[in-house]
Amino acid sequence: MHKEILVIDDNPDIRFLICNILQEQNYKVRSAANYDQAILEINKRLPDLAIIDIKLDKPDKDGIDLLKILNKKNKLTPIIMISGHATVQVAVEAIRLGAYEFIEKPFSKEKILNYVNRALESAALKKEKDIIEDKLFHSFELIGKSQAIVKVKKIIDKLSTSESRVLISGPTGSGKELVARKIHKNSSRHKEPFIIINAALLKEKTYEKELFGEEFEDGNISFGALERANKGTLLIDEVSEIPYQTQANVLRVLIDQKFKRINGSKDINVNIRLISSTSKKLNELVLKNEFREDLFHRLNVMPIELTSLSSRTEDIPLLIDYFKNKLADMNGVQVPDIDIKNDNFYTYNWPGNVRELRNLVERLTILSSNESKQKINKVIDDILMSSSQISNNNKILEQSFQSPLKEAREHFEKEYLTTQLKKHHGNISKTADFIGMERSALHRKLKSLGIKGIN
């Protein structure tokens, strides 16, 4: 299917020239001779690309206004601005507002075709990237019935009508980015950009450039995360890693809602929803003077805490069931037969949390088309019975040998019953049936060993 291009220029010779060049390359072309015609054509149908002259027939409305209108309708529509008498400032403003490129008149046939082809390729890549991201992130749900997850879901629902800043804390792999995406998706900003900057991956000298952007002597601009997230949501992942001095500049942006690019003199106004995440305890870093207290309070308006997977093992079977169906569909393979009663799922520490579980299920999903159920179970045991797990078991055994028989028996019973309760998601009746005890006897045993309900 041929791409459709809208050419907007009040000069008939230029308009005719551009349309001719494009039609020779088998592009479908529409044109508009003035501002009002352009609005009619835009409202009739959005083009795959627009070429817009900055100066049109209306003194108070020009090509920049059309650029804003097209951007508002669809940010993925590439726009090439042209002009024969625009200043550098106007060109820079056009690029800042989302134009793909700015071309000065007169221009060669090769130049305009080069920019058109590159702009369409770039738009196609962005669209493909959005589809992939939607598959990987937007389509995943926050799964779980534990009190910790139910609480998080309720907070996300409440935040749908709020613009509050959010601080998400939790161990690595617990789902902080997923929660941030859900907050953005449920908010009034869901059609605007969702930008992520991972502070843990940046070099010390590049933080400010990545956040604020940079202006160069030749007029080029590198846009920072704050500017790219304008009107949308910015997630600063591992916010604790931002250098102390840069923290002061971030605080200033939160207060003033504006900043200057590096080497820039003009204030850039922004309207963003800031979400931060951390795997460290920021309040402890504040006490050590490693994180600014004033910034911490600005970020921590609405705190959300994600717990480790090992502390909410009742969610494990739900997560396995969800991931195996989702990942099988995404990879185009059969759903694997995973034994969710395998003790290793509930005794393993899950240092990588939900992300580690998802990776394991994806591996099993890929294996499922060629391997038997027995082989899959062996893979589970091989992976989860890690050296740390074996070391922990050896430690328990060593403690037992150093204790009198009564204490050793109690220690074993406590470990055994705790594991069985986790395996049966805290259900006393099912646990009692499995281990062959009366329900009332199990209650008494748990009380005598000091084992409380498994959450």
Higher-pLDDT residue of 205 and 82 is 82
pLDDT at 429: 84
Q: How far apart are CA 346 and CA 251, in angstroms?
A: 43
391: pLDDT strictly greater than 50: no
234, 281 in Cβ contact below 8 A?
no
Structure-block tokens of residue 271: 């309207």
The answer to whether residues 50 and 59 touch, using CB atoms and an 8 Å cutoff, is no
- In the chain, the percentage of residues whose pLDDT exceeds 70 is 89
Half-sphere exposure of 8 (CA within 13 A, CB side): 30
Question: Could you give the CA distance from residue 233 to residue 73 in angstroms, rounded to a whole number?
Answer: 19
| Other CB atoms within 10 A of residue 186 CB | 15
Question: Would you call 113 exposed, middle or buried from its count of C-beta atoms within 10 A (0-12, 13-18, 19+)?
Answer: middle
Q: Which of 267-271, 328-332, 407-411 has the lowest mean pLDDT?
A: 407-411
Among 77-86, 155-164, 317-326, 391-400, the range scoring the smallest mean pLDDT is 391-400
365: tokens are 């999903």
pLDDT tens, position by position, 315-342: 999 999 999 998 888 777 888 888 888 8
pLDDT digits (tens, 9 = 90+) for 47-56: 999 999 998 8
Which domains, from first to last, does the chain contain? Answer: 4-126 (3.40.50.2300), 140-307 (3.40.50.300), 310-385 (1.10.8.60), 389-449 (1.10.10.60)
Helix or strand (DSSP H, E) at 31: strand 28-32
Helix count and strand count (H, E) for the chain: 20, 14
Q: Are 54 and 48 contacting, i.e. CB atoms less than 8 angstroms apart?
A: no
What mean pLDDT, rounded, does the chain reach?
A: 85
Helix (H) / strand (E) containing 153:
helix 147-159
Counting Cβ atoms within 10 Å, is residue 404 exposed (0-12), middle (13-18) or buried (19+)? exposed
Tokens for 314, please give them.
């009742």
Q: How far apart are CA 272 and CA 253, in angstroms?
A: 10
Strand partners, 452: none
